[in-house]
Amino acid sequence: MESPPCQVCPTHRVCLAAGLEHRALTALAECVLSGAPMSRGEYVYRAGEPAEHCFVVRSGAYKTIVESANGDVHVIGFHFPGELLGLEGLADGVHRESAVALETSTACRFAVDDVPELWSMGSGRSLMRLVGRREQQNALHQLNLSRTAADARVAGFLVGLGRRMQRLGCSGTSLPMPMSRTDLANHLGMTLECLSRVIGRFGRSGLIAASRSRIVVEEPEQLAALAAHLDR
């Protein structure tokens, strides 16, 4: 059940443990439990379940989805290490989204009732930082979705993902793509075919080099330019 402690976790610099000292990390472990590894397709939580915990991604990647009344699903977002999961459950104690592992992944969880204790342990700031980041990310994605040109939406997504990877200490140009093209197209508000064409076009013009599970950004500046003002 227990994963390695925070001290040896590669994510501990960007999660709730950010800035804590060795001793404090041990104390934190009383509130924050790291879950067992989950494999692709497993659910962290499902829409409709009571929401007593929030989660921080420790390794791997997750997606969050909502299901409309008529049954079609929408991919709300992708979540990489150090990012929060399950905030929407805070509204009324019930999850309104579902969270699914995209690959073998782990997540740490803390009870919403323990938030005051997290604060007294010195993790309050980190928690707020994560909430703020989530909000910024939402804003960025909305901005992206509001652009009508498909090229701009894809470019914007890649630029944003690059920034998130850099914050993790990873390369901002060699981007992991653990999600399916179908999921990504859904998330970006376009059809699978359209996304495929855009990626193909980007590849042919040398902007990126795409494989199924990774996209290497060859021309970051050109991509950023596309993201910024291809539209209007």
Partner DNA sequence: CGGCATTTTGAGAAGCATCAACTATTGTGG
Partner DNA sequence: CCACAATAGTTGATGCTTCTCAAAATGCCG
Residue numbers of the site for a second copy (CB under 8 A)?
64, 66, 68-70, 72, 74, 76-77, 87-92, 96-97, 112, 115-116, 119-120, 124, 128-129, 131-136, 138-139, 141-143, 145-148, 186-190, 228-229, 232
- Return d(Cα 69, Cα 73) in angstroms, integer: 9
Q: What separation in angstroms does the CA of 41 have from each of 84, 95, 101?
A: 19, 18, 5
Q: Toward a second copy, which CB reaches closer, 122 or 176? A: 122
Q: Which does 212 bind (CB under 5 to 8 A by kind): a second copy, DNA, none?
A: DNA
Query: Which value, to the nearest 10 degrees, does the dihedral of the CA atoms of residues 7, 10, 14, 17 take?
Result: -10
Q: Toward DNA, which CB reaches closer, 33 or 192? A: 192
Q: Toward a second copy, which CB reaches closer, 65 or 210? A: 65
Distance of closest approach, residue 37 Cβ to a second copy, in angstroms: 26
Residues forming a β-bridge with 66: 74
Q: Which does 22 bind (CB under 5 to 8 A by kind): a second copy, DNA, none?
A: none
Q: Toward a second copy, which CB reaches closer, 46 or 229? A: 229
Distance of closest approach, residue 203 Cβ to DNA, in angstroms: 8
Counting beta carbons within 10 angstroms of the beta carbon of residue 156, is it exposed (0 to 12), middle (13 to 18) or buried (19 or more)?
buried
Write out the H or E segment, with its range, that includes residue 63.
strand 62-67
Distance of closest approach, residue 152 Cβ to DNA, in angstroms: 8
Distance of closest approach, residue 106 Cβ to DNA, in angstroms: 19
- Return d(Cα 209, Cα 219) in angstroms, integer: 10
Q: Toward a second copy, which CB reaches closer, 129 or 201? A: 129
- Return d(Cα 89, Cα 34) in angstroms, integer: 19
Q: Which does 193 bind (CB under 5 to 8 A by kind): a second copy, DNA, none?
A: DNA
Phi-psi region of 112 (alpha: psi -120 to 50; beta: other; left: phi over 0): alpha
Distance of closest approach, residue 4 Cβ to a second copy, in angstroms: 27
Q: Which does 41 bind (CB under 5 to 8 A by kind): DNA, a second copy, none?
A: none
Q: Toward a second copy, which CB reaches closer, 77 or 160? A: 77
- Adjacency order of strands within the sheet including 98-101: 43-45, 98-101, 62-67, 73-79
11 touches 60 (CB < 8 A): no
